[in-house]
A and B are shown apart, each in its own frame.
Chain A
Amino acid sequence: MASRQFATFEVADQLFGVEVHTVQEVLSYNEYTPVPLAPPAVGGLFNLRGQVIAAVDLRVQLGLVRQAMQGPVMNVILRGDGEPVSLLVDRIGEVVDLDDEAFEGPPDTLSGPTRELVTGTFKMDGRLMLALDVNQAVDTYRATT
């Protein structure tokens, strides 16, 4: 039976996951440089070992209030297409092995920005994990209303 590994994290108490191979690393960082005039989903820039990384506020992408950016914020750094990009999340979860059998498409009742960002739902013990569409999640020019 085919299974995949997901790195999980929480935003607004909802568990999300991305496939482990898309993740470069996870770290907490607390000094972000805001980019005036950038799309609202851009949380800021930070220095990752000499490399300038853009942090995308997943809360904004999900249509929620932006991260306060006070104190440390968790980053899930995705390899991205050529340049790493970070997703700002509330909390980091575990890396889980999930069978493809536990996968279902997004529920019909799911609407709004979240619907556009997820590829499906994994039924875990006691809770649901939404699998994120990595490209959509970091697309800061995605129109959010």
Chain B
Amino acid sequence: MEDLGEIVGEFLMESHENLDQIDRDLVALEQEPGSRDLISRIFRAIHTIKGTSGFLAFSRLETLAHAGESLLSRLRDGVQPVTPTTITTLLATIDGVRSLLESIEQDGNEGDVEVDSIITAVHAQMNAPEAAAPAEPASAAEPAEEPEPLEEKSVRPAPEPVEGQRKPLGEMLVESGAAAPSDVGSALQQQLEGDERKLGAILLEEGKAQPAAVNEALQQQAPKRSVADSAIRVDVDLLDGLMNLVGELVLARNQLVRGVMETGDSGLVRSAQRLGMITSELQEGIMKTRMQPIEHIWSKLPRVIRDLSQSLGKQVELVMEGKETELDRSLLEAVKDPLTHLVRNAVDHGIEEADKRVAAGKPAVGTLTLRAYHEGGHVAVDVADDGAGMDVNRIAEKAVEKGLLRADQIATMDKREIMAMVFQPGFSTAAKVTNVSGRGVGMDVVKTNIERIGGAVSVDSTLGEGTVWRLTIPLTLAIIQALTVDCGDQRYVVPQVAVLELVFIDGQSTKIEYASGAPVYRLRGKLLPLVRLDRTLGLNVGGDQGVYIMVLHADGRRFGLVVDRVLNTEEVVVKALNSRFKDIGLYAGATILGDGKVGLILDVSSLARRSQLTAESDRENLVGTSRASGGPANGERLLVTAVGERRVAIPLDAVTRLEEFPRDRIEHAGSREVVQYRGQILPLVRLSHLLGAYSEVEEGDTVSVVVYSEGERSVALVVDRIVDIAENSTTARRDAEEDGLIGTAVIQQRVTELLDVRRAILAADPNFYTEVPVEMLVEA
């Protein structure tokens, strides 16, 4: 057996593929009992397994396959009809073959897998409909009953699988009308009786077919083979190895190109550029080899659903949409089990029994829809059923009952949040526990598994109408269509799914306008809020002319992203970003651009969230725009803030940035409050304390601060709210004696206090203006 190791390996791999196909075909056959094509395909596949197992001396496997084949040949010849019971028997046979194969794979022999009961069941099936049918299974596969010249002598090696998938010549001739079915039949009979000539030859010699027609049919047979041959199996390790090599090639190419550029030889430069292009294409191609359509894991589901719905007495129709959506191999593997669990759960608990459905005015047959698509830089996989749906109130009750929630928490939660409780460990709403699901394990495992690959699970349900489970799988390693854009000196990548349109801003016919400082664009009469990428990324802010607006949508919002230049669309392979950058939240991942450099992929959803926090981004915009435009030289610009009930103005020149910090990031150093900010310790001072104002009730998770920097030092002034930016050119000013203020003024018809910035800063950091380094506030 040693020297046969490789052959056995080949056989196992090939057989597993064949079995999966048989599974699918059997389920399809049940829907379409008359399909001869399906029966023939199943027959040929199982015949191949039988032949090879005989050759490799796996006798029990051979016997089992032979039994299945016998039953199939009766179905094919119409001796007995295709019924759900026959399908079940055949599926059991396939399962038997599978366990034998597993045993062979593990131990190298057939082990003690029990097949006799299956064989008995198959025989019972063959005997059941007609008592007259031959009892001996071998005779059921009597060669005389077969219209195809298939070798029955199991000692001989089976034909190559491609051979099996070829359409028989006789069949083709009959279909094209070149030969009469009876002639083909008798020719086949002659072959079986020992005529060694080929079918075409018999027909030709007996003048029953035209040479031209036979030639044509033979030629048609040929391409069939090439289709079967066009795919080969490759070891994944080999692909990974190639991928690494291509990576090295890209690096070497880049170095070469730089070297060549320096020589200035135009011929060499052209060659180098060509090499560059080829390398990029090669890189892309190799990356794609790892991608597989999601169909690969979906293909097992029809069988799962069929078995389950049958055992539960339900009727379920499976609809698959977007099965060509590609995912990286490793992700597919990780998604397989959670997906299967969701599907089982949907059939078990989602879809109701036929009578209940009819009573509810729904079609008796439930529909389970699997949908895969790209969304917002992720691949989403939906498992949707039109079943009973989930009752939010019951979930809430249950969660309270199980101690997962407190009753008073329910009121503040929205529907989705309550629904999400089903993913908590130990939660199960199933009225009755079945052996399929509903043991209280599962949904939390689904969640854990999906989250482990950086994905997310969510559920939405309408009582009486159905449930949609959604797996959001990260693009890690997935290939997406993306637009590359320039912002500052760098190139960024925007997933194309999020892009609605592009607008060029020439400053004349199209221009960016400001609504109280917030940049907007009139897109066909409607105002589109804008987010400047450079400002969002904390880069130098550019101008408003000669830039592009990318109209993006995400999380149900539309906004415009202002970038310097839009380059092109390309397919990029998304790489997971190092975990240390997750906290920034702006990047969905990274990718290797065509030139071998790393490009950051922007997370459109989080950009959208930033645009939603209009208050925040607008405030930043206020500062930025007034700086960018420079403003009229006369008149001081003031940032007006709210501190309690008072309006406090800060000279804009004293403002470096406006920030929003999560409340929980505030730490204490001695009596002072500090925040870690861009690698520095930023001391905070609350203007409400400084000015003795009553502060508004502290709400929300964030605090608004005004950052003032000088050299390496920064302090942050905490305010309740940023109100506006105003110009203080005309209003009267009256000196005030009050602590911390330098006076008051009427700004925008309201009395506004002017902050003594220096005092405020010293309150935050007494050493701010001294040369002595600030003592280290952070614990070592």
Chain A interface (Cβ within 8 Å of chain B)? 31-42, 44-54, 60, 83, 85, 115-116, 140-141, 143-145
Cβ contact of A46, chosen from B538, B598, B681, B776, cutoff 8 A: B598
By DSSP majority rule, is chain A's interface helix, strand, loop, or mixed? Answer: loop
Minimum distance in angstroms from B148 CB to a CB of chain A: 49
By size class, the interface of chain B is: 35 or more
Complex Cα spacing A42 to B600, Å: 14
Complex Cα spacing A49 to B243, Å: 8
Contact status B578-A54, CB under 8 Å:
yes
Contact status A33-B598, CB under 8 Å:
yes
Chain B residues within an 8 Å CB radius of A49:
243-244, 247-248, 250-251
Chain A residues within an 8 Å CB radius of B213:
none
Q: Does B88 contact A (CB under 8 A)?
A: no
Within 8 A of A (CB), among B737-756: none
Chain A residues within an 8 Å CB radius of B287:
50
Contact status B592-A45, CB under 8 Å:
no
Complex Cα spacing A84 to B586, Å: 22
Q: Knowing A37-B586, A47-B598, say if A143 contacts B679 (CB, 8 Å).
A: yes
Complex Cα spacing A42 to B579, Å: 13
Minimum distance in angstroms from B555 CB to a CB of chain A: 21
Contact status B581-A38, CB under 8 Å:
yes
Contact status A34-B244, CB under 8 Å:
no
Chain B residues within an 8 Å CB radius of A116:
780
Contact status B578-A37, CB under 8 Å:
no
Complex Cα spacing A37 to B490, Å: 14
Complex Cα spacing A26 to B596, Å: 19
Chain A residues within an 8 Å CB radius of B580:
38-39, 42, 54, 140-141
Contact status B578-A52, CB under 8 Å:
yes
Q: Knowing A33-B490, A143-B679, say if A52 contacts B538 (CB, 8 Å).
A: no
- B318-347 CB contact bits vs A (8 Å, 1 = yes)? 000000000000000000000000000000
Chain B residues within an 8 Å CB radius of A39:
580, 678-679
Complex Cα spacing A85 to B38, Å: 54
Chain A residues within an 8 Å CB radius of B462:
none
Contact status A35-B776, CB under 8 Å:
no
Q: Does B510 contact A (CB under 8 A)?
A: no
Minimum distance in angstroms from A143 CB to a CB of chain B: 5
Contact status A143-B676, CB under 8 Å:
yes
Chain A residues within an 8 Å CB radius of B780:
115-116
Contact status A52-B776, CB under 8 Å:
no
Complex Cα spacing A43 to B131, Å: 82
Q: Which of B251, B538, B596 has the most CB of A within 10 A?
A: B251
Q: Which 8 A-B pairs have the closest CB atoms?
A: A49-B247, A36-B537, A50-B247, A40-B679, A45-B598, A33-B598, A54-B578, A52-B590
Minimum distance in angstroms from A82 CB to a CB of chain B: 9
Nearest chain-A residue to B537 (Cβ)?
Answer: A36
Contact status A52-B579, CB under 8 Å:
no
Complex Cα spacing A145 to B676, Å: 10
Complex Cα spacing A125 to B774, Å: 38
Complex Cα spacing A47 to B676, Å: 30
Chain A residues within an 8 Å CB radius of B774:
145
In the complex, 11 of the A-B residue pairs with CB atoms within 8 angstroms, ordered by the A residue number, are A33-B590, A35-B587, A44-B598, A46-B598, A47-B598, A49-B243, A49-B250, A50-B243, A50-B250, A116-B780, A145-B777
Contact status A38-B584, CB under 8 Å:
yes
Chain B residues within an 8 Å CB radius of A31:
254, 596-597
Q: Knowing A35-B600, A36-B537, say if A145 contacts B581 (CB, 8 Å).
A: no
Chain B residues within an 8 Å CB radius of A53:
578
Chain B interface (Cβ within 8 Å of chain A)? 243-244, 246-248, 250-251, 254, 283, 287, 490, 537-539, 575-581, 584, 586-587, 590-592, 596-600, 676, 678-681, 774, 776-778, 780
Contact status A145-B776, CB under 8 Å:
yes
Q: Knowing A52-B577, A54-B581, A116-B780, say if A47 contacts B597 (CB, 8 Å).
A: yes
Q: Knowing A33-B490, A38-B584, say if A51 contacts B679 (CB, 8 Å).
A: no
Nearest chain-B residue to A84 (Cβ)?
Answer: B578
Complex Cα spacing A46 to B595, Å: 12
| Sample of 6 more A-B contacts, CB < 8 Å, known A37-B584, A52-B598, A145-B778 | A31-B254, A33-B598, A36-B537, A47-B247, A50-B250, A52-B576
Chain A residues within an 8 Å CB radius of B778:
143, 145
Q: Knowing A42-B580, A145-B776, say if A37 contacts B538 (CB, 8 Å).
A: yes
Chain B residues within an 8 Å CB radius of A85:
578
Chain B residues within an 8 Å CB radius of A33:
490, 590, 597-600
Chain B residues within an 8 Å CB radius of A144:
679
Cβ contact of A45, chosen from B576, B586, B590, B676, cutoff 8 A: B590
Contact status B243-A145, CB under 8 Å:
no
Contact status A37-B247, CB under 8 Å:
no
Contact status A52-B597, CB under 8 Å:
no
Cβ contact of B581, chosen from A35, A47, A60, cutoff 8 A: A35
Nearest chain-A residue to B591 (Cβ)?
Answer: A52
Cβ contact of B244, chosen from A32, A36, A50, A54, cutoff 8 A: A50
Complex Cα spacing A52 to B774, Å: 37
Chain B residues within an 8 Å CB radius of A115:
780
Minimum distance in angstroms from B246 CB to a CB of chain A: 7
Contact status A37-B537, CB under 8 Å:
yes
Minimum distance in angstroms from A41 CB to a CB of chain B: 7
Complex Cα spacing A138 to B591, Å: 22
Contact status A47-B592, CB under 8 Å:
yes
Cβ contact of A51, chosen from B247, B254, B581, B587, cutoff 8 A: B247
Minimum distance in angstroms from B679 CB to a CB of chain A: 4
Chain A residues within an 8 Å CB radius of B244:
49-50
Contact status B584-A35, CB under 8 Å:
yes
Minimum distance in angstroms from B696 CB to a CB of chain A: 29
Complex Cα spacing A33 to B780, Å: 31
Nearest chain-B residue to A56 (Cβ)?
Answer: B580
Minimum distance in angstroms from A50 CB to a CB of chain B: 4
Complex Cα spacing A38 to B777, Å: 22
Complex Cα spacing A83 to B577, Å: 10
Chain A residues within an 8 Å CB radius of B678:
39-40
Nearest chain-A residue to B254 (Cβ)?
Answer: A31
Q: Knowing A33-B598, A141-B580, A143-B778, say if A50 contacts B537 (CB, 8 Å).
A: no
Complex Cα spacing A140 to B780, Å: 15
Nearest chain-B residue to A139 (Cβ)?
Answer: B580
Contact status A47-B251, CB under 8 Å:
yes
Complex Cα spacing A54 to B587, Å: 14
Contact status B680-A145, CB under 8 Å:
yes
Nearest chain-A residue to B587 (Cβ)?
Answer: A35
Nearest chain-B residue to A116 (Cβ)?
Answer: B780
Minimum distance in angstroms from A31 CB to a CB of chain B: 5
Chain A residues within an 8 Å CB radius of B592:
47, 50, 52
Q: Which of A32, A35, A54, A140 has the most CB of B within 10 A?
A: A35
Minimum distance in angstroms from A61 CB to a CB of chain B: 10
Chain B residues within an 8 Å CB radius of A48:
247
Minimum distance in angstroms from B755 CB to a CB of chain A: 27
Chain A residues within an 8 Å CB radius of B283:
50
Q: Which of B248, B539, B780 has the most CB of A within 10 A?
A: B780
Contact status A145-B681, CB under 8 Å:
yes
Chain B residues within an 8 Å CB radius of A140:
580
Q: Which of B287, B587, B590, B596 has the most CB of A within 10 A?
A: B590
Chain B residues within an 8 Å CB radius of A41:
679
Cβ contact of B250, chosen from A44, A47, A143, cutoff 8 A: A47
Q: Which of B250, B580, B680 has the most CB of A within 10 A?
A: B580
Nearest chain-A residue to B597 (Cβ)?
Answer: A31
Complex Cα spacing A74 to B620, Å: 38
Nearest chain-B residue to A143 (Cβ)?
Answer: B778
Complex Cα spacing A145 to B578, Å: 24
Q: Which of B586, B597, B777 has the most CB of A within 10 A?
A: B597
Nearest chain-B residue to A115 (Cβ)?
Answer: B780
Complex Cα spacing A64 to B372, Å: 50
Contact status B679-A83, CB under 8 Å:
no
Nearest chain-A residue to B577 (Cβ)?
Answer: A52
Complex Cα spacing A145 to B778, Å: 8
Chain A residues within an 8 Å CB radius of B250:
47, 49-50
